[in-house]
Structure 1
Amino acid sequence: MNRSNQVPLLNRILIVLPVIALGLVGGTFAARYLELDSQNDSYDVESAAQVTTRNRTDDMIAAQQARLKRNPNDGQAYTNLAVAFLQKMRETGDPSYYTKADGLLHRALELNPNDFSAISALGSLALARHQFREALDWGERARALNPANAHNYGVIGDAQMELGLYAEAVQSFQTMVNRRPDLSSYARISYARELHGDLEGAIQAMRQAVEAGGPNAENTNWTRVQLGHLYFEQGQYAAAEKEYQAALNDFPDYPYALAGLGTLAAARRDYATAISYYTRVVNTLPLPQFVIALGDIYASAGQPDQAAQQYALVQVEEKLYAANGVDQDAEMALFNADHHRDLPEALQRARAAYARRPSITVADTLAWTLYQTGNYDEAQQMMMQALRLGTRNALMHYHAGMIAYQLGQREPAITFLDQALRLNPRFSLLYADHAQKLLSELRQGQ
């Protein structure tokens, strides 16, 4: 894409902000852009280009380990190996690679405290661990060393998004796309538009990300899957399926594409097919959001014992993630609120998460946890924070509708529930049917 194509994209975001001043099975739309950092041009390009498939990641690890054996003071090799470990985490879901990468990057800084590659990679690592204030610090430190590097602005903008600094994040993304219009910057523009309620614009930008392509098939097809998710969130199931299938055709057995197809099958109540897809996913990449999704599908299919097994695995995984420095408070609070597990602790964790990470998605999590614990007035106050950007997300509107219903606000409840179902009639395995039933009852005056 040439530079001239970028101006309208950014203008659309910047026009929205002054005016305005999670919803897939087993996951939230906030997770989308936090996996963009495999394309960091601050790394050793020749070496990093080798990380294109699962097998080549292992080759990259072996090559950098051999390089360090020859020269234990090779700072770039430490960074390259850390980047390979981050890719390995992406492929396996094993968070211990975060700890390994952290040690390697700090070793690189011991050799050179101003090592831009290591500092930049530490920003990406902090994002992956949901340590957003630290990510912002690393990103700003990297920018001070190399202000021309586009990736810095992606890390900074990502952190600002999760810290609720939306105007600042948009400015960071604008700088990023102006400096380097590519898959990573287009995808971030898509996410910013999505949060501000411009779903059509989000699709346009994500399609440009797909067309721009990444340095390897995984990057490109990850973006294609995100495009499918955007279609799904608008109830455009055939379009979503087309994108998921295209990703799978281009990158066979790709877990994110399989999960997308599993989500569609579950939305169509084809639970056997959904279980088949998600079982393949979890066997390959047992990320918590996929394990939760499989549990929810089992529950919907009338298999509570199998669902309980998946939910128990989530608890085990949460401990493993915490041991490797990953902040899961918001995610676990939402899981427990959705599944009525240890609600007092869920509320405590949601409050703690919002104190550290005052984004609209965590505001939604806190609002829903307050709702589940009977704190309806405070839940509505927090829900107003969650919706302050004009986000058009079916699950968030369902939450708002349920809170209004419990407060006896019939008309707002009808409005929010209607908006949720108009956006995506099958927005949630847990809640879509209930939303339809309650909306019908409210309209009949029951």
Structure 2
Amino acid sequence: CALGRRDPSCAIAPLSKSWHLGGGASAHFFLGQAFEAQGMVQEALTAYSQVFEDAPVIYPALYAYARLASDHGLGERVFEKIDALAVHDANPAVYYTGAKICLGLKDYDRCQAYIDKAMAKKEVSGPFFLLQAALFEATGKDEGVEKTLAECITKLPQYVGGWLKLSAYYVKKQRISDAVQVMEQALNSFPDHPEIKGNLAWLLLEEETDFDRALDLAREAYDTLPGQAWLMDTLGWAYYHKKIYSQAQWMLEQAEELTPGNGMIQYHLGMVLYHRGKLFQAKTKLESALGYISLDTRQRDKAESLLAVLNGKEGLKDEGENMIFNPEATPSLDLESQIPSETGESEDILKPDWSNMDSSAH
């Protein structure tokens, strides 16, 4: 319970007592986690080491030991233990641990050697395919990435991670239509999976092809996983595309509370505020979004264009040909004549909110 509350200092004493009373390998494992969370590296390494010596099948302890030791310059000690375990236990999880640690250390040849050993023994699980794909990506072998992930969804169609990773690879290569096709196939196999629904919704928004379906998928995904910031962002962006701006703002603000340093959420929120006429708030969010690397060229160009307007450099109309006002212009303009008479949602009439502009903007 103490670990669950992220209070490792309170966890150490009862876990130590549990171990002394015969709590076994599991007590040692959680004790190692508590030590690690407290920054007690040597104590954590000792606890993890005891776990996989007493119960080698508890592979999370092996990985925890290997990761922590590698982070502190003890890589060779890690490989000695992994190789010694492999002599007595050829379980793929031992090789997986070695391969993953090697990938992190950029020891690519040794990483491939561990993967080859695992695949030579028996049929391997989905994470091995993802690890092989990650190795190909790290070494610049794009053809190998796509081939490996395609093999994964063919041989292990029930492994959701393979579908998600292949779609993400296509997105990275700006092959959005291919990513959509992969997610559509995945949805046929996993019709209730929230991550697949959420990813497909985002892709449809990127393609700008079916906003209605994107909104439905995003809502369904959010209903299943309501506490996920990325799903809140997707749903908020879907509301934006449907011009339901008030709901979009509320949802994106919830997402921002969970991940305040996310540039994409800041960009989306800035766009929504802009279309709601909350100009100064929009300016602040868009400027903040440009400070992050998560925005692509198209999004950066859009943000910079709108900021030019908000900084009074040029005039611009919104998608409905309604004038967006220059915040440096005099408020004595005939504002009402430029407010659209009809919108998709009465509460979302585009009207500049001058109260949001600070005095320095005039």
- Residue 262 of structure 2 is aligned to residue 300 of structure 1: no
Q: Deviations over 1:146-191 (max 9, x none)?
A: 3345323213425656887443222211332355331011223445
Q: Deviations over 1:347-389 (max 9, x none)?
A: xxxxxxxxxxxxxxxxxxxxxxxxxxxxxxxxxxxxxxxxxxx
The whole-number CA distance in structure 2 between the counterparts of 1:198 and 1:205 is 11
- Residue 264 of structure 2 is aligned to residue 289 of structure 1: yes
The counterpart of 1:67, out of the listed 21, 32, 40, is 32
The counterpart of 1:112, out of the listed 62, 78, 83, is 78
The whole-number CA distance in structure 2 between the counterparts of 1:199 and 1:222 is 14
3-state secondary structure, aligned to 1:235: coil
Task: Assess, with a 3 A threshold, how the Cα gap between structure 1 residues 250 and 293 changes in structure 2: closer, same or farther.
Answer: same
* Contact 1:282/1:291, CA 8 A, preserved across alignment: yes
Give the equivalent residue in structure 1 for 2:350. none
Give the equivalent residue in structure 2 for 1:411. none
3-state secondary structure, aligned to 2:79: coil
The counterpart of 1:152, out of the listed 90, 109, 128, is 128
Give the equivalent residue in structure 1 for 2:187. 207
3-state secondary structure, aligned to 1:253: coil
* Contact 2:236/2:251, CA 8 A, preserved across alignment: yes
The whole-number CA distance in structure 2 between the counterparts of 1:57 and 1:138 is 38
Unaligned runs of 5+ in 2: 12-26, 36-42, 53-58, 83-94, 306-362
Unaligned runs of 5+ in 1: 1-54, 85-100, 127-133, 214-219, 319-327, 342-446
Give the equivalent residue in structure 2 for 1:140. 112
The whole-number CA distance in structure 1 between the counterparts of 2:169 and 2:108 is 17
* Contact 1:203/1:227, CA 8 A, preserved across alignment: yes
Give the equivalent residue in structure 1 for 2:320. none
The counterpart of 1:167, out of the listed 135, 139, 143, is 143
3-state secondary structure, aligned to 1:264: helix
TM-fit CA distance, 1:102: 7.0
TM-fit CA distance, 1:312: 4.5
* Contact 2:252/2:269, CA 8 A, preserved across alignment: yes
Task: Assess, with a 3 A threshold, how the Cα gap between structure 1 residues 138 and 184 changes in structure 2: closer, same or farther.
Answer: farther
Task: Assess, with a 3 A threshold, how the Cα gap between structure 1 residues 180 and 145 changes in structure 2: closer, same or farther.
Answer: same
One-letter code of the match for 1:298? L
Task: Assess, with a 3 A threshold, how the Cα gap between structure 1 residues 210 and 105 changes in structure 2: closer, same or farther.
Answer: farther
More relative contact order, 1 or 2 (CA 8 Å, 6+ apart)? 1
Task: Assess, with a 3 A threshold, how the Cα gap between structure 1 residues 59 and 174 changes in structure 2: closer, same or farther.
Answer: farther
* Contact 1:265/1:273, CA 8 A, preserved across alignment: yes
Taking only aligned residues, the RMSD between alpha carbons, in angstroms, comes to 4.5
Task: Assess, with a 3 A threshold, how the Cα gap between structure 1 residues 202 and 121 changes in structure 2: closer, same or farther.
Answer: same
Q: Deviations over 1:178-205 (max 9, x none)?
A: 5533101122344567727446632432
TM-fit CA distance, 1:103: 5.6
Q: Deviations over 1:199-245 (max 9, x none)?
A: 6632432315635x8xxxxxx52232112223433522232222222
Task: Assess, with a 3 A threshold, how the Cα gap between structure 1 residues 66 and 273 changes in structure 2: closer, same or farther.
Answer: same
Give the equivalent residue in structure 1 for 2:195. 222
* Contact 1:186/1:206, CA 8 A, preserved across alignment: yes
TM-fit CA distance, 1:112: 1.1
The counterpart of 1:184, out of the listed 155, 158, 161, is 161
- Residue 212 of structure 2 is aligned to residue 238 of structure 1: yes
* Contact 1:82/1:105, CA 8 A, preserved across alignment: no
Q: Percent identity?
A: 11
The whole-number CA distance in structure 2 between the counterparts of 1:83 and 1:270 is 47
Q: Deviations over 1:14-49 (max 9, x none)?
A: xxxxxxxxxxxxxxxxxxxxxxxxxxxxxxxxxxxx
* Contact 1:105/1:122, CA 8 A, preserved across alignment: yes
* Contact 1:136/1:156, CA 8 A, preserved across alignment: no
- What are the residue-to-residue correspondences of 1:294-333 with 2, within 5 Å? 294-314=269-289, 318=292, 328=293, 331=295
TM-fit CA distance, 1:333: 6.3
One-letter code of the match for 2:278? Q
Paired residues, number = 246
Task: Assess, with a 3 A threshold, how the Cα gap between structure 1 residues 269 and 234 changes in structure 2: closer, same or farther.
Answer: closer
3-state secondary structure, aligned to 1:310: helix
Moved more, 243-252 or 259-268: 243-252
One-letter code of the match for 1:256? W
The whole-number CA distance in structure 2 between the counterparts of 1:332 and 1:192 is 16
The whole-number CA distance in structure 1 between the counterparts of 2:103 and 2:194 is 20
Task: Assess, with a 3 A threshold, how the Cα gap between structure 1 residues 142 and 71 changes in structure 2: closer, same or farther.
Answer: same
TM-fit CA distance, 1:104: 6.0
The whole-number CA distance in structure 2 between the counterparts of 1:125 and 1:59 is 28
The whole-number CA distance in structure 2 between the counterparts of 1:104 and 1:337 is 44
* Contact 1:189/1:205, CA 8 A, preserved across alignment: no
Give the equivalent residue in structure 2 for 1:339. 303
- Residue 221 of structure 2 is aligned to residue 247 of structure 1: yes
TM-score norm. by structure 1 comes to 0.44
One-letter code of the match for 1:140? Q
Task: Assess, with a 3 A threshold, how the Cα gap between structure 1 residues 275 and 185 changes in structure 2: closer, same or farther.
Answer: same
TM-fit CA distance, 1:338: 4.2
